[in-house]
Chain A
Amino acid sequence: MAACVAVIAKENYPLFIKTIPTDNELKFFYTVHTSLDVVEEKISSVGKNANDLRELYLGLLYPTEDYKVYGYVTNTKVKFVIVVDSTNASLRDNEIRTMFKKLHNAYVDMLCNPFYKPGENITSRGFENVVLAMLQQD
């Protein structure tokens, strides 16, 4: 389903990145990192009318030939990025939204762990399983 799922901290450093098994893992890293440009753009453009209830889902950040990159920002400015194969036409906006919702829930569950310090890399197995399910689901 998804090719890469990433959680990025408020300060834009990665908390968690999982990709489908591939030789070119670095490519996904670059893609996710570059997508932050667009995420920031989107966040800052919304920020101008402050009272708006911000939509967490940012939509398609940018398409590439092979992949589509979707973004999602929590209220604490933790970013989720999901990269999906662009040939997979079955993934519509709604499916992506549900994926993000699931990811967000998993993240919140993980964050509730009192032993996790916000800002540390995510090592929770529960969270990883959720992400793996997203990557494998086809």
Chain B
Amino acid sequence: MNEAKPIVTCHGNQSLFSSLHTAVSQGLPKESCEWRRSYGRAPRSVNLEASFVPYDADILPDEEEKTLVSRPYFHIFWTDCDLESYKQSVKDEIAEWQNALKARNIPDWLIVVVISDENKVKAKLLPRASVIDKVKSDFCGKYPERCIVLVEPTKLDSKSSESWLHLFQRLRSLLLQAFNRHLHKYEESMRSRREKRNEPGWNYFSYFIVQEELAFMLEMLGLKEDALIQYDELDAMFDQFVENFANGDTVKWLTPLMEPCSSWAGVSLAKSLDLDLREEVKQNNAALLPFRNYLFSRQAALLFQMGRAWEVASRALSYLYHTVVEMKALEVQIPDGALSCWVFLSCLEVLNACELHHGTQLDEKFALCTANLWDFAHKKLRELGHLCSLMPGLVPTSDQLSLVVDLVSGMGITAETLSPSDKKPVDKLRASLSSPESFKRHYLEMCEQAMGTYKYIGRYRSARMIGLELAEFYMKIKEPAKAENFLLESICMHQQEGWHYLADGTMVKLAKCQELLKEPNKYLKTCCHIACSPHITMAEKEKYFEETVKTLDSVSSDERVEMRASQVIFMESLELQPEQASLNEELSLRVCVVSNFPRPISMDSLKVSIVACSENEAVMFDQRQLQQKQTRKQQAEDSQPPPAAPQKHHRRQPSATHITLDKMANFSPATKQLPDTIAFQKTYERRQGRLIATGLGCEHARELLKRTDSATSTGSSTKNVVRDDYSLCFLTENVLLEPGRNNLTFAAKIAAQGVYRLNQMCLSVKSLDLLKPLSDFATVFRVDSIPSTFTVTPKHTDKFIAGIEQEAVLKFTCGSHGLTEASALSVTTTPYFSITSSEEGGDGDKGIMVGSVGAYESLEIPVNVCMNLKFDALETQMSRMSVMVEALQQTLEQEVTFVHPFNIVHKVYTAGKQKYFQIVVHGTTATCFTLSQPKLDTPDCRDVELQLMNKPGQLLLVNEHQSSSLLWLMSSNVPVLPALDLSFSCCYASQVDLSPQARQADYSCSIHDFQTQYILSYAVSSIEEDKACMTGETAIMDITIKQLIDLDLTEGTKLAYSVKANGSVWAIGGKTTGVFTMKEGKHHTVLDVVPMQAGLLYFPLVTLHKYVDRMEEQSLADIDGCDSDSDSAPLQSQKLRSESQVSSVSSTSSAQFASCLVEFSPGQVYNESRSRQIHVSPCRTTGDIDVSLIQ
């Protein structure tokens, strides 16, 4: 049909035209012209072509004739005559021609006047004289455009080419006009026919031929696109009819299509127009398949012409599917397999044609469409294979064999298609069906082809599907080795993409394959996997569980089979107790495991490997621990809730996320695992002290909220699990793993300190090791070494008491390292401190022998502890001891605190000249001590005699609630005593003390300046003798100072007295202080005093001081300094002195004077009148005197 061109008739001078024919037919299509069309259709540019035929009045079409293609559209009259011949003959000729055209109502004509001699034209001055003018005036009065001049067509000058151009332009536009007119008319009638499609008696196929005519016409005009549209419209219309038919709307013309199908020849794309077929269609004789074949072949032809071979392929698929559906819809009877044959043949035909038209460039777009075709074809072949028992393992029955014959006969094999080459689809199919061997060859070839194309365009999933089919096929032809690879590939992909249902379904096939392969190791793994799959029926699971157990028995035990346990078990929880362990301590790991086995299985051993963390991890662990501790502390602090107090860390409950994680063993999900804690920052915004805004911000929000790209996650998800080193592991043995949840407890001891984490779990059954990586759980724990310690505690008392030998217990607590063998503990102590074993006689050097002690066990050794008393001012005494443990090569040090059992103080008492020395023993512990044989000595002085005032044999008991006091009378033979050193000793004993003999306690002290130098006495009496004092009346205070011994032996010692009294009690007249010198050992002073109150009043207090000249001030300070030293009761003396100082200041207005007074040491001045009182009577007068009674 390609060659078909619109027909143009030529009349007039035939020889002239034949000379110009080539020029015209070639020149016409050189340039395109725009074709504007009605109904708002887009204008098209068309390259017009025409085939020129000689005019014959007989071929002129009737107006009623509805043909388009074979109709002569245009009529040209050619003439090159001169005026003479025109007048003679040509004019009549034209007139006759015109009349003939007019009779048929054909307005499409053109008269071409060819002028060979230009000069002639030019020479003529009168316009009406030329042929052209004549023609115009005679014929083209109404249509001046229908006459055109062609000047010297054979020449090549510009004039000639210009006139050619004119001719073509005119011809084109007129041709288009003609076409337009015809097409318009045609379309009108076609439309009206279409409108009648629902009327009875309407025939689709007659309409088909009409619209196809239009398509031919458009194709003829080069408008392939529009031509295709016509076919597509027809196609759609047919679909609609079939659909309506399926819905019960029967039409008569469809009946021939529904007749039992006897031919299933595939579509043939070899010819662009199959006229035989068209005739059949025209006659409404064609069955559905041939009609469809015809329609598609036309569409394909147009597409090929347009260079859209890929579209043929893409349309082919829907065409095939569609037709198959239509066959069903129309309920066409067809032998089994015939449709498959048709599809297969058509597929291959399309593919061949595409390849032919597409040439060598196999681009992706093309492959995209062909891939499906290949796939479809191979599926059909497989169907046929099953149908005719050509698949391996099937034996064709005689029925099937005759079916093959039937099928082959229906393929439309003609003599011309019977070629020896295997190229034709028919040959291929016939060969395939001829024998199982060639079927196998062809089937594999098709599979490869389809798979290859899919892979080429990146449709891996589809390719794997075919792979699965291939695997099945290989299994049938007993080549499991080939099948295995395909299965594995497919499983791998399904697992990676998380389609476990599919993966596990394929796994069952793999198991069958591996069983055939006799590879027990692989088979074992696969069986195990299937047995645990949640996507497989229970019966199948149990079957494979049994297989697993059976295979386990057959696998040689020295060969370990390793396998990921992710399918077999899920970890529900994992708890390590404690997180911070010590060396050799029993660590316990509690794991909740969900077993997916359908039945209980007994595991030989379950292990959890422990690996040492890298330094980084260790540091991180420590930090986290610290942080947790802090938050815990903080939480405790915050527990009394300040309601608005924001917590620094938001603790996120893991909410069992790891379980879901775990289930997607080979697939890391896109949702990132969030950390346990998220650090927040709180912000407050205040204005003028008022809170106006608060906020909570997260610094790492970007990081936390970042999307994880799925592309990376799908890529490297399947890591190979390698069996860990299980030399250090948690272990339980002989565990029966029930289906479902199992609580397991593991135990381990770790012999080196450090930070560890759990790395992998290994479940062993016979030779199978199920490995489960645990690194995701991030279970980290620290193992510390705990050193051995010992303590010494007294047995009977709460504290050690110095000075006695006590029973005590030495408690030796072994740390992380136990004592494996008996070892000696050698104890060394500081001086005065001894520890001896109480069991033996106790050779201290050898130390104490101890037997073996386990880690964290303790051993109690009874010992005797003795600290020799050595009195210090301190009440407690620290002492050190160290224990050397020989087996551990370790020396342990320990401080021991001793308490002194009692505290001894001394004091000197004075009574006039007499001196008494007192020793008081205060107990400091609850332990009761018995004192005996108190002894006081003055070792350096023999002039003093000490006489114990206590009852002889008095029981002296001392404890913390009871003190003992001892008093001695001191009498001396000499008047002046030097400073005395006194040493006190007594024996003490206690029940706690081990030794029966009493021990001796010593106390030494020295006293000086204790002898009485002056006796001070004073008395207050009324002025009148024998009369009571009266308030307000002056009384006399008589002060007498007697010197007993003169230590300084100087006559002129200046002394000073001072009188002090409460101003409201006594008013003192005269000098309250006075300096004096003793004369003959005596001094006497009288003062006036007035009692202000009535009652029993104490005398005013008189004190005596040494008076030092101002010159001696310097030395005074020295005396002051040494004062405290010499004092026996320093505290008391200090108190006294400060009082005296105060008093001296208050009583003396002159500070200078006060500074000149130096106190005597206590005992040197004896105040006889201290504490004496006088009775003062109230005043007898009636004056206003307040009376107050003082108790």
Residues on A lying within 8 angstroms of B by beta carbon are 9-14, 17, 26, 29-30, 33-34, 36-38, 41, 62-65, 86-87, 89, 117-120
| Whole-angstrom distance between the Cβ of B276 and the nearest chain A Cβ | 30
For this complex, 8 residue pairs linking A to B, each with C-beta atoms less than 8 Å apart, are A9-B498, A13-B664, A26-B501, A26-B502, A29-B501, A30-B502, A34-B465, A119-B669
B435 to chain A minimum Cβ distance, whole angstroms, is 27
A62 touches B670 (CB 8 A): no
**CB within 8 Å for A119 and B670 given contacts A13-B499, A14-B498:** yes
Q: Give chain B residues whose Cβ lies under 8 Å from the Cβ of A117.
A: 660, 671
B627 within 8 A of A: no
What size tier do the contact residues of chain B reach?
Answer: 35 or more
The answer to whether B667 and A87 touch across the interface, beta carbons within 8 angstroms, is no
A36–B329 alpha-carbon span in the complex (Å): 30
Q: Please, what's the 1-or-0 string for B793-814, where 1 marks a CB less than 8 Å from any CB in chain A?
A: 0000000000000000000000
Q: For the complex, what is the distance from the CA of A120 to the CA of B714, rounded to whole Å?
A: 16
Does A12 lie within 8 Å of B498, measured CB to CB? yes
Bound-state Cα–Cα, A32 to B497, Å? 13
Complex interface bits, B658-674 against A, C-beta within 8 A gives 1, otherwise 0: 00100010010111000
What string of 1s and 0s marks CB contacts (under 8 Å) between B438-461 and chain A? 000000000000000010011111
Closest residue of chain B to A31 (Cβ to Cβ) is B465
- Which of chain A's residues has its CB closest to B454's CB? A37
**B817 contacts the other chain (CB 8 A):** no
Contact of A119 among B457, B499, B671 (CB under 8 A): B671
Contacts of A12 in B (CB 8 A): 497-498, 714
Bound together, the chains give a CA A86 to CA B317 distance in angstroms of 14
How far, in angstroms, from A119 to B708 measured CA to CA in the complex? 12
Which residues of chain A come closer than 8 Å to B667, judged between CB atoms?
A: 11, 13
Contact flags (1/0) for B301-341 with A, using CB distance below 8 Å? 00000000000000001100100110011000000000000
Residue from the set B246, B368, B462, B671 with the largest chain A CB neighbour count within 10 Å: B462
Contact B494 A63 (CB under 8 A): no
Would you call A63 and B317 a contact (CB within 8 A)? yes
Q: Quick one: given A38-B459, A62-B372, are A33 and B499 in contact (CB under 8 Å)?
A: yes
What's the least CB distance linking B469 to chain A, in Å? Answer: 11
Interfacial chain A residues near B497, Cβ < 8 Å: 11-13, 33
Chain A residues in 8 Å Cβ range of B461:
33-34, 36-37
CB distance from A68 to the nearest CB of B (A): 9
Determine whether the beta carbon of B321 is less than 8 Å from that of A63: yes
Enumerate chain A residues within 8 angstroms of B321, measured Cβ to Cβ: 63-65, 86
Q: Nearest Cβ in chain B — how far from A8, in angstroms? A: 9
CA distance in complex: A36, B499 (Å): 12
**Bound-complex Cα distance A26 to B497 (A):** 16
Main secondary structure of the interface of B (DSSP, over half): helix
Contacts of A63 in B (CB 8 A): 317-318, 321
Cα A9 to Cα B1083 in complex, Å, equals: 122
What's the least CB distance linking A87 to chain B, in Å?
6
- B710 near A10 with CB under 8 A, answer yes
User: Within the complex, what minimum Cβ distance (angstroms) separates A107 from chain B?
Assistant: 17
**Separation of A87 and B322 alpha carbons in the complex (Å):** 9
Q: Are B670 and A10 in contact, CB atoms less than 8 angstroms apart?
A: yes
Nearest Cβ distance between residue A12 and chain B, in whole angstroms? 5
CB distance from A21 to the nearest CB of B (A): 16
Provide the residues of chain A in CB contact with B459, threshold 8 Å.
34, 37-38, 41
Once A30-B465, A34-B465, A89-B243 are accepted as A-B contacts, the answer to whether A11 and B460 lie under 8 Å apart by CB is no
Chain B residues within an 8 Å CB radius of A64? 321
Q: Tell me whether B713 is interfacial, beta carbon within 8 Å.
A: yes
Q: Are B499 and A29 in contact (CB under 8 A)?
A: yes
- What residue of chain B has the Cβ atom nearest to residue A35's Cβ? B461
- The list of the 9 closest CB pairs from A to B, nearest first, reads A13-B498, A37-B459, A11-B710, A37-B461, A63-B321, A12-B497, A34-B461, A34-B462, A119-B671
Q: Assuming the A-B contacts A26-B502, A86-B325, are A33 and B494 also in contact, with contact meaning beta carbons closer than 8 angstroms in the complex?
A: yes
B499 touches A11 (CB 8 A): no
**A89 CA / B239 CA spacing, docked (Å):** 10
Contact partners of B660 in chain A: CB under 8 A: 117, 120
Residues of B within 8 A of A29 (CB): 499, 501-502, 505
Most buried by B among A9, A64, A65, A89: A65
Chain B contacts with A in 494-509, Cβ cutoff 8 A: 494, 497-499, 501-502, 505
Residues in A with CB closer than 8 Å to B318 are 63
Known: A12-B498, A13-B499, A64-B321. Is A41-B462 also a contact (CB below 8 A)? no
CA distance A86 to B329 in the complex (A): 11
